[in-house]
Amino acid sequence: MTTREHIASIPLTADDPTAEASIGGLVRDATAHVSTLVRAEVELAKGEITAEIKKGVKGSVFFIVALTILCFSLFFLFMALGFGFAEWFGWGYWAGFGLVFGVMLLTAVAFAFLGYRKVKKIRAPEKSIAAAKDTVAALTRRGDDN
């Protein structure tokens, strides 16, 4: 069943074009038509978003595989650097790998510090909270007036 098959259609003409409709009947019909239109728009949006999300998920799998391979490849880079430092400077292997570890540790600390600074700047969505409070207050006042 496609999306279009299960969405109610909006009639473009009245059932009986010669019949005079009352104001209440017209309002009821208009409300029903708007409701149907809104439901149809929501169903259309859901269908489009679902299709796009599926495409995104399929595409992201390739990025995840590439990132996994890169992460495993970095091990060999660090091994090569450890052996290379030991060879170039005439050190023991332990010193070459110690230098690689020190560089990796300093890099991790630097990125953790940058991440901490960014996270520290996060603030609550004050405008959204204020708008929600205004909406609740307006609806509460409207309900009290009845």
How far is residue 53's CA from residue 146's CA, in Å, rounded to a whole number?
A: 44
How far is residue 2's CA from residue 10's CA, in Å, rounded to a whole number?
A: 17
Cβ-contact 85, 100 below 8 angstroms: yes
For the chain, percent of residues with pLDDT exceeding 70 = 82
Q: What is the pTM of this model?
A: 0.48
10-residue mean pLDDT profile of the chain (146 residues): values are 53 56 83 86 86 87 94 94 94 94 96 93 84 80 58
Q: Please write the tens of the pLDDT for every residue from 42-53.
A: 888 888 888 888
How far is residue 50's CA from residue 46's CA, in Å, rounded to a whole number?
A: 6
pLDDT of residue 27: 85
Distance of CA 127 to the CA centre of its chain: 20
Q: Please write the tens of the pLDDT for every residue from 121-146.
A: 888 888 888 888 888 887 777 555 55
Give the Cα-Cα-Cα angle 138, 140, 143 (nearest 5 degrees). Answer: 110
